[in-house]
Amino acid sequence: MTVREVVTVPDPVLRKKARIVTKFDEKLQTLIDDMVETMRLAPGVGLAAPQVGVLERVIVVEYLENEEDEELEDASEAPKKLYTIVNPEITRKSSDVITGIEGCLSVPGYNGEVERHLAMTVKGQNRYGQPVTLKLKDWTARIFQHEIDHLNGVLFTDLATRIWKPEGPVEDKV
- Give per-residue burial for 13-41: e unless 16+ CB within 10 Å, then b: bbeeebeebeebeeebeebbebbbbbbbe
Tell me what pLDDT residue 167 has. Answer: 73
Q: How confident is the model at residue 170 (pLDDT cuts 50, 70, 90)?
A: low
User: Is 171 annotated as catalytic?
Assistant: no
Q: CA 125 → CA 20, 64, 76, 99, distances in Å?
A: 11, 22, 28, 29
Whether the per-residue pLDDT at 76 is higher than 60: the answer is no
Q: Which residue of the set 37, 147, 167, 171 is catalytic?
A: 147
Least confident span in 64-68, 121-125, 157-161: 64-68
Whether the per-residue pLDDT at 107 is higher than 70: the answer is yes
Rounded to 5 degrees, what angle do the CA atoms 140, 141, 145 make?
A: 120
List of domains in the chain:
12-167 (3.90.45.10)
- φ/ψ of 69, rounded to 5, equals -65, -20
Whether the per-residue pLDDT at 86 is higher than 90: the answer is yes
